[in-house]
Amino acid sequence: MRTTTCTLNEKMGGFKKMKRTLLLALTSLAIALYAQAPPNQPFAASGGRGAGRGPAGPQTIPLWPNGVPGALGDTDADKPELTFYRAGRSGTAVIIAPGGAYRNLSMEGEGRQEAYWFNAMGVSAFVLKYRLAPYHHPAELNDAQRAIRIVRSRSAEFGIQPDRIGMMGFSAGGHLAATAATHFDAGNPDAADAIERAGSRPDFLILGYPVISFQASVAGQNVLGAYANSGRNLLGDNPDQKTLDNLSDELQVTAQTPPTFLYHTTNDNLVAVENSVQFYLALRKARVPAEMHLFENGAHGSGMGMTDPALSAWPTLLMNWMRSRGLLTGQPGGGGFGGGRGASGGRGPSGGRGAN
């Protein structure tokens, strides 16, 4: 009997190892395809360049083609945009906000690699280039909300379903994603701009080692200097307590906050794991479906974690979560990720999932 049990365990271990190897291979292939993709070609149909994934490469879509509100100049840094990586089999899309302390953007390790990973699963992806310091709040949130409205209002053109638009963010980009998921509206039905009529609520949320809180109990006494000066870059030198509270996203969670997947490492020495823990507890209190995975070790900014034997498991965990919510199939599952118009009066999620 011991021999039989041992053999079964060995077979199961071999299956898990093979599954992980396959995922790594798919991601590597996707990234390799990105590296070989030709430069973007002119694209006139929708005010962008390229035509999604394919011969013309990714499509670049300006958020504000007729002029960026509150622009401080006319350089590339003053022009936020989305880069679209088309997949389309699942009808699901993810908008990805790279991190960088609201000062820089880690477009490769926390943007493009993830986009091609999603593509390998049939999920379309949009990498968001948002405005950074010297821009301050609410410019960054305005860019995130505009990105969601664009994807939703043009969902038929992009080959996705308007109620299957998620947002993903890492580090400070995780803060932006969480802020978009806790500060949204149903759109303005009277707006002259059709994009502004669409709701800005993401239908699901994916957070990797996110900045969440500007409370001293989480960020430390030097709130603005925490997280490599993310607070100062976002809010300037003298934000009032009301602003700090408003942008501490664990304080803004309601039953309408979308279902959320979180992962973090316990020894992250830049963004404390308590950020994810506090957000998870707020989601649980509001009865929002949530799943959190905490790893003992791992450097901040690890992205997909493919070079780390432990962290490389988290993309598989995310894939399983998305599959369980019906996000990897052509038809929605029973995961309750709805409220796709982004309306504050949409369906309220209920229940919850435990943390590892």
Burial tier of 195 (Cβ tally within 10 Å: 0-12, 13-18, 19+): middle
Nearest Cα to 218, choosing from 181, 249, 246? 249
The position carrying tokens 């926390």 is: 110
Q: Please state, in angstroms and rounded to a whole number, the distance separating the CA atoms of residues 146 and 314.
A: 29
Contact criterion met (CB below 8 Å) for 173 and 211: no
User: Could you tell me how far CA 294 lies from the centroid of its own chain?
Assistant: 18
53 versus 109: which is more confidently predicted?
Answer: 109
Spatial contact of 115 and 304, defined as CB atoms under 8 Å apart: no
Q: Give the separation between CA 46 and CA 56, rounded to whole angstroms.
A: 14
In this prediction, residue 309 carries a pLDDT of: 86
Alpha carbons 169 and 254: distance in angstroms, whole number: 19
Residue 3 has pLDDT above 70, yes or no: no
Residue carrying structure tokens 């890492």: 170
Q: What is the pLDDT of residues 219-266, one digit of tens each?
A: 999 999 999 999 999 999 999 999 999 999 999 999 999 999 999 999
CA gap 257, 52 in Å, rounded? 30
- Taking only the tens place, the pLDDT of each residue in 54-83 is 445 799 999 999 999 999 999 999 999 999
226: tokens are 């925490």
The mean per-residue pLDDT over the stretch 342-348 comes to 34
264-268-272-274 Cα dihedral, nearest 10 degrees? 40
What is the spatial distance between Cα 344 and Cα 151, in angstroms, rounded to a whole number? Answer: 18
Structure tokens at 66: 């007729």
Q: Which residues pair with 355 in a beta bridge?
A: 292
In tens, the pLDDT along 186-230 reads 999 999 999 999 999 999 999 999 999 999 999 999 999 999 999
Share of the chain above pLDDT 70, in %: 77
Give me the residue label for tokens 């309408």: 256
User: pLDDT, tens digit, for every residue of 263-287?
Assistant: 999 999 999 999 999 999 999 999 9
Residues 6+ apart with CB under 8 A from 346: 201, 256, 338, 339, 340
